[in-house]
Each structure stands twice: as C-alpha cells, then as structure tokens.
Structure 1
C-alpha cells in the first residue's frame, strides 16, 4: 500500500524542496552540519521554561564528552532523586549536536518530569565507528556511577534517541544488559537497527524523503568505512539474543527508509519477552519528531512518549 503523507507533512516536504537546500551527499560533513543546524530555527517548537540547563563534561579515555543536563521545574522524585533520560541525538552519526536537539530534550524533560542529559558523542568521518558507541556507553556508565551527585535515581535510568541516536540507545541497552548499568527502559525513535538496507522500505520511492536512500549510503560510508556492518554494535538487529533487555518504546514513521527495520526490531524485542510499546505515524517522514513548530504530530509524539516515561515510575 503506497505511503501517503499527512497534509502538513506534505506541505513541509514541499517547502524544503522549494528552499533549494543541497543534498547532504553533495557536501562535506562540516557543510552538512551547518545546514542541519540552521534548519532547527524554522522547525523546532518554542522551548518550555525549565529550572536549569547546564553543560557537563564527561570524562572519557580520549578526553571529555560534552553533554548538557536539563532539569525541569517539576520532577518525579523518590527519596529526593529523579528519573533520568540519557539522550543521543540523530543525524546519521555525521551531523547533529546538542543544539539541534535541545528543544526536544527540553520538552521531554518538562512533560516527562525527569532529568534529561543530552550527549554530544564524537561524529564521523573524523571519528568513525565505534567512536560514537564508545562515547554513548562511557557517558551512560558515568551518569549511572555519578547518579546521586546529579540528583538522579540510578534505578530509573533510561536511554533514548532518534535515528542514529536510537541506534546508539539500542546498542547501549544491549551492552548494559551484559555489563551494566541496569537500565529502566530504552526509547527508540525511528531507530537505525540494520545496515544491510535490505528491507522493502529502503527501496520504496515514497520513503526517500529528506532522509533519502542515497544520503543513507553517504552516512553509512562516513560512519562505518570498512567496518563490518553485521557487527551488532553497528546493527543491533544482528545481536544474538534480545532477552533480558529493558522495556522499550519504539516509534516508526510511514515515509521513512528505516520504517521496516524499526518495526522488525520491535518484533525481535517482543518475541524475546521484552515489554514493548509500539507507535507508528503512517503519514510522517523521517525526522519529523524534532519539527514541532511545523508538525503537530511531533508534539503529539512528545506528549505520548512523556506519558510512557511516567509509567516507568
């Protein structure tokens, strides 16, 4: 059945086409980052008022990992400690940063009534796989080890992200299951889970919107280089076992090349006995989640995810 965009998504897609933005695969990585960063001005919704937004520097073998901690005015505290979402931004492991995903992190903190820590992991091609994975794991373990000092309840630690960030969250969840820390949940927003790109949604013309089929190859080449795309740290769908993973929220979009692999990953988790909340937005394209100024479905997604976060305790 052909994918049909919602009217608002179709209008946004048309506006992006008419704006004449060059395809990322025709640019250098720094140029693509600049274009992506600039787009947030027209697409990000107004941020909510928070108690604070502060920088963090997380120690790592290579130096420090920049991060930002968002604390809302209302927190769901137990014994003085609050739940925390460690968030990894999307952008194909090549583009995106703390600023591009600041508003969505602020909204999740505000509506979910929890602390959000956004992680600025190293990007490719300057730092290829598994640098981003290493940073995501290191950052999560540091937050867990320093939870009390940060006002965080280590028993209510969640990982999450969108697209490439969803990939990193899934990989961190797999790593943490076997080596700690214990996680309360994983939030996977249209996650990249399988670099084979063999699913039907990678071939449908209707899914090649903004995140086009060709730019996915550009991202993959920058990130993986000569690495094995079957390595589960790159393609978490290739993991041998999904049992014992924390509860998951998996979101997919209809006009998205990653749609089928996200759907498949949710099924893998369910079949392994993992509690899964699955939400599909049939008329939206990849990347809509951060576009709350233009797409009300993005705001609905944030509200629904925040409600799910509250069910975790």
Structure 2
C-alpha cells in the first residue's frame, strides 16, 4: 500500500532542509554528536530516575534507570534499552523521552545503556558494553522488584545491538530473554535494497549517511560479519519473540522487515509492523506523531502480557479489597 508522506514528516523534512547542515561525511564524529544530544519534545514524569556507573564486560559504563509508577496486581517488567545513532552519536539524554514512554507503556524498569561510541571505540565494543548492561540489569532485577518479562529494545543502530545481544544471550545460562523490541533496526550492510534506492536522498537518513556510519563502526573489518549484520546470522532459531517496527519512508525499512521474516521462518514468534507515512527515527518525535503513542501502547501491551504469564503466582502487589 502506497501512503503519502505524513504531514508532520513533510514539516520535519522542511525544517531539516532549512538548517542547511553539511552531510555527515563532511563533519567529525563530535560535530555529528551535537546534532542528537538532547531529547525532543516534552518528557513524561516518572517517580524515579537514577544515573549509575555500572560494571560492563570489559570496562565501566554509564546507565540510566527509569522506575515507573507501580501498578497494583501487575508484575513489573525489565527492558534494557540501547539507543540509536549509527553507533557514533546519541547518548542517555537523546533517548530520555523514548525510555520514559517505554517505562510507562510496558510497566517496566528501563535501563538505558550508554555504550561507548565509534570510531573511538569500534566494533565490537558497543556489543560488549550492551551485553554487560543486560547482564548487570538482570542481576539487579530482584532489587527493583522485577518479576515479569526481561527484554531488550533499541532503535536503529540500537535495534541492531539489541538483535545481536539477543543472539549472544541465546547461548548463555545466566540470562533468559523473554522479548526483543527492534525499532527500524539496522540488520544488514547491503545499501542497495529497494528502500535504499527509493529513499537514498531527501527522507532524513540518507544512503551516504549510513555508509559513513558503517565506516565509523566497522572500519576495515568485514561489514558482513553476522555480529554487525545479524540478517546474515546462520541460524536465528531459539531467539526470543520479537516486535519489529519499520517506517515506510526509511532506507532501513526492507532490511528490518527481512529480519522479521527470517525470525519467523526460524520459528520465532514475530509481530511485524510497518508504520505508514513516517520517516526513520519517528519514535523520537512523539510530540509530532500520534503514531508514537500508538506503537508504544502496542509494544507495552505485548510486554505486559508476557510479564503476567511469566511472573510467579502472588509475587507482585495485589489490589486492595473493596
């Protein structure tokens, strides 16, 4: 189905065009980071937000923990979140609003991992940091009162990291993931898909920008390494159920949908949702797109249902009798 570009997407593209920013290939990583340094739109209130330094697998890293308002008679879930930004940009602040929204929608403690960025810390540093963040959060879940589902989530390059961490976690005895949420994820290094050809220029995330991101992250390493391009993983069997969201007008659309299809072919339960009319990164623009709240609600409901089915009986607060 061909849907016209969302009116808010048209406005956003016009605003970006008016900024007349140089292409990423013409700026330094630090200059690129300044473009995505702060959250967009209003920030929902939460009862508790804590910044911590945590033990990663190879080095200490920062994390931000979001605690939602506890709801009676419903278990608390855990989401370990990895921000997007092409493995080069983004931080705890850039995705602060997105994490708050997820915490509320999914009734979850959300742990946002501030993994180290390329090119200063190239592949596979981000994977090691994200896996370390997941293992740390899993060890802390009882302290936070988590009795429900343990999940990973991420957008764009963060979706790539969530997918790869889920693959790594599959072989571990010390972590059992219940769900993976992949928001317009990077899953392959093929820059010649139909969506790349259709949206290579003029729709926000360009082909040249993605090529620049890949170079910063991988350098001379093989871009087709399955830990960089999980679509090329030989087997996806045994992975946790997935919710895969793609944006219609996004260079990454086809690889995200191809990954969802591969998961399904491997016997993994998958919800695949293409959001009509929107651009890459739309989930950071909840103040513009009503679709953000709708997608978060559906993801949240899926995680809440998993949490309710996985929590031990009588392990969470019950509603008072009336």
Compute the TM-score of the two structures, normalised by the length of structure 2: 0.90
Equivalent residue runs for 1:88-99 within 5 Å: 88-99=82-93
Q: Which residue does the alignment assign to 1:23?
A: 23
Gaps of 5+ in 2: 308-322
Runs of 4+ aligned residues of structure 1 deviating over 3 Å after TM superposition are 1-4, 75-78, 205-208
Q: Which SS does the other structure have where 2:176 is aligned? A: coil
**Aligned 8 A contact 1:109 1:116 in 2:** yes
Equivalent of 2:156 in 159, 163, 167: 163
Structure 1 residue 2: deviation in Å? 6.5
Structure 1 residue 165: deviation in Å? 0.4
Is structure 2 residue 113 aligned with structure 1 residue 119? yes
* Structure 2: distance between partners of 1:75 and 1:100: 27
**Aligned 8 A contact 2:57 2:128 in 1:** no
Query: Compared with structure 1, are the counterparts of its residues 85 and 76 closer, same or farther at alpha carbon in structure 2 (3 Å cutoff)?
Result: farther
Is structure 2 residue 249 aligned with structure 1 residue 255? yes
**Aligned 8 A contact 1:121 1:135 in 2:** yes
Q: Which SS does the other structure have where 1:67 is aligned? A: strand
* Structure 1: distance between partners of 2:160 and 2:190: 14
**Aligned 8 A contact 1:246 1:274 in 2:** yes
Structure 1 residue 289: deviation in Å? 0.7
Equivalent of 1:214 in 193, 208, 215: 208
* Structure 2: distance between partners of 1:61 and 1:168: 15
Deviates more, 1:274-283 or 1:118-127: 274-283
Equivalent of 1:186 in 168, 180, 184: 180
Structure 1 residue 197: deviation in Å? 2.2
Structure 1 residue 203: deviation in Å? 1.5
* Structure 2: distance between partners of 1:291 and 1:165: 17
* Structure 2: distance between partners of 1:276 and 1:60: 30
* Structure 2: distance between partners of 1:90 and 1:299: 19
Structure 1 residue 126: deviation in Å? 0.4
Query: Compared with structure 1, are the counterparts of its residues 162 and 61 closer, same or farther at alpha carbon in structure 2 (3 Å cutoff)?
Result: closer
Structure 1 residue 179: deviation in Å? 1.9
Number of equivalenced pairs: 306
Is structure 2 residue 71 aligned with structure 1 residue 72? no
Structure 1 residue 77: deviation in Å? 6.9
* Structure 1: distance between partners of 2:116 and 2:200: 32
Q: Which SS does the other structure have where 1:161 is aligned? A: strand
Structure 1 residue 307: deviation in Å? 2.0
* Structure 1: distance between partners of 2:71 and 2:52: 20
Q: Which residue does the alignment assign to 2:195?
A: 201
1:261-296 deviations in whole A, cap 9, x for unaligned?
000000001111111111111211101111111222
Compute the TM-score of the two structures, normalised by the length of structure 1: 0.92
Structure 1 residue 19: deviation in Å? 2.5
Is structure 2 residue 132 aligned with structure 1 residue 128? no
Structure 1 residue 3: deviation in Å? 6.6
Is structure 2 residue 13 aligned with structure 1 residue 10? no
* Structure 2: distance between partners of 1:76 and 1:242: 37
Structure 1 residue 6: deviation in Å? 1.3
Q: Which has the larger radius of gyration?
A: 2
